[in-house]
């Protein structure tokens, strides 16, 4: 099954990634990817969809989905290094996966989050992503039939 990054959430103050289930009056119901436990999250929490995250490069910003695909190409079937790895090891990975990343604005702390998220998606979801453009085209085609 393809992973829709618009429904995969990072919630400030909570470790791991969450799948958006539904809205509530006061926030949202989410399910932890790792243990499948559902919980309610307040609308005042800082909730970010992975589809909305980009990484700075020297020329532009690259969507996180593309970074994950680049990492998958570099790593093959292996997991990314742990977030507890040495900074040099993380930098070496991003040198290969995103060679022109902006060294002044993409910090080791950001790299740690990205590798944690990559490993979580690899282990609990899928690195085969829903492509928003393809989905829009499929919806248009279905509407025309």
Q: pLDDT tens digits for the chain (145 residues)?
A: 899 999 999 999 999 999 999 999 999 999 999 999 999 999 999 999 999 999 999 999 999 999 999 999 999 999 999 999 999 999 999 999 999 999 999 999 999 999 999 999 999 999 999 886 655 555 455 555 5
Same domain for 120 and 58, yes or no, is yes
Tell me the residue range of the domain where 31 lies. 5-50
**pTM of the shown model:** 0.88
Whether 13 is covered by a domain: the verdict is yes
Q: How many CB atoms lie within 10 A of CB 79?
A: 11
Q: If you search the block for the tokens 């969809």, which residue do you land on? A: 49
Same domain for 57 and 96, yes or no, is yes
Closest CA to 40 of 56, 53, 27: 27
């Amino acid at each position: 099954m393809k992973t829709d990054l618009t429904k995969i959430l990072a919630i400030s103050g909570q470790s791991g990634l969450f799948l958006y289930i539904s809205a509530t009056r006061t926030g949202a119901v989410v399910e932890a990817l790792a243990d499948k436990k559902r919980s309610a999250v307040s609308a005042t929490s800082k909730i970010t969809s992975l589809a909305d995250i980009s990484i700075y490069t020297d020329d532009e910003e690259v969507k996180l989905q593309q970074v994950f695909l680049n990492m998958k190409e570099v790593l093959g079937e292996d997991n990314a290094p742990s977030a507890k790895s040495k900074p040099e090891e993380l930098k070496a990975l991003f040198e290969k996966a995103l060679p022109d990343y902006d060294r002044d604005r993409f910090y080791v702390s950001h790299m740690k989050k990205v590798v944690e998220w990559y490993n979580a998606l690899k282990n609990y979801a899928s690195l085969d992503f829903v492509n928003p453009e393809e989905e829009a085209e499929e919806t248009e085609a279905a509407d025309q039939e």
